[in-house]
Amino acid sequence: MHLPQFRLMFDVGRGSSRLTEVPLLLLTHGHLDHSSGLPYYISQRNLRNLPAANIFVPPELKEPLTKILQLWCEVEDYQTRYNLNSVDYEQYVPLHGNYYFKAFRSIHRVPSNGYTVFEKSRKLKQEFQGLPGHKIAQMKETNHDMFYENYTPQITFSGDTQIEFVLNHESVRKSKVLFLECTYIDEARTIEHTRKWGHIHLEEIIQNQDAFEEVEHLFLIHFSPRYRYDKICKILKEKLPSGLYEKTTPFIPRYFKK
């Protein structure tokens, strides 16, 4: 998932030459459908003399990925440059302007993160609210402590996770745009089976519909390839409560449409 306005991508999939110019990769976890393009991405950036990629990963992944990447350097007989960072779950990392990202732990079968892009703004502290504008301007001259920094969640990408990723993190529930995995959508897979494999079933989204009240656009991603495009659209229309259906868009790869 590439966000050109922030020059970042969430996960790199199997890799694509179209992603080479994106300088920042926020990797959710190491499963190969999300991460196998990593050595290709790094190698292509080096080949094209682009600055070292900035890559953020769950802390447990730093060591094994460094080993793999080093082996690829041996195989290619070329020492590539890249910055592989363990995420710090407490930190807002600057993107550009007033935008930042932060990692949140998700729940999957392997160590995994979701990521949220925030917009930072300065807000007036409670005790000064309600004062007339000229008074505030006057006080600003002498009192520098009238504002606090506020981070508003804009876009969240879940990666692969159980539903608790939404339930546990307020920033995820308050994101204007939420890309959320929804691997299974019908009774061919039970909720229990879905949870066992660290994923979300459509029924769980419906059961927890209140958690999506503040989300303005919900994009469902990561459908199992067992479902065809038409079937996904039909089931979403049948099952999602209307308020939720209206703001939901299935994000379906082109090859699902056959």
160 or 204, CB closer to Zn ion?
Answer: 160
β-bridge partners, 119: 99, 152
**Taking the complex as a whole, how short is the minimal distance between the CB of residue 184 and Zn ion, in angstroms?**
12
Question: C-alpha distances in angstroms, 112 versus 34, 125, 157, 221?
Answer: 11, 35, 12, 16
- Rounded Cα gap, residues 105 and 113, in angstroms: 5
**Contacts with 167 (C-beta within 8 Å, 6 or more apart), sequence order:** 173, 208, 211
Residue 68's contacts (CB-CB under 8 Å, 6 or more residues apart) are 38, 39
CA distances from 250 to 26, 84, 185, 207, 222 (A): 22, 32, 12, 18, 9
In the numeric block, the tokens 């520098």 are attached to 144
Quick one: 68 or 93, whose CB is closer to Zn ion? 68
Q: Does 31 participate in binding Zn ion (rule CB under 5 A)? A: yes
Q: How far is the CB of 29 from Zn ion (least distance, A)?
A: 6
CB-wise, 153 or 198, nearer to Zn ion? 198
* 160 belongs to the binding site for Zn ion (CB under 5 A): yes
Quote the least distance from Cβ 181 to Zn ion, whole Å. Answer: 7
33 binds Zn ion, rule: CB under 5 A: yes
Told to check if 216 binds Zn ion by CB under 5 A, we report no
Q: Which is nearer to Zn ion, 95 or 200 (CB)?
A: 200
Residue 57: CB minimum distance to Zn ion, A: 14
Q: Does 14 bind Zn ion (CB under 5 A)?
A: no
Footprint of Zn ion on 50-109 (CB under 5 A): none
In the bound state with Zn ion, the residue whose beta carbon lies nearer, of 102 and 199, is: 199
Binding mask 103-142 for Zn ion (x = CB under 5 A): ----------------------------------------
Q: Is 105 helix (H, G, I), strand (E, B) or coil?
A: strand
Work out how close the CB of 75 gets to Zn ion at its nearest, in angstroms, rounded to a whole number: 25
Q: Do 45 and 78 contact (CB within 8 A), yes or no?
A: no
Both tokens of 185, joined, read: 């959508």
Residues that bind Zn ion (CB under 5 A): 31, 33, 160
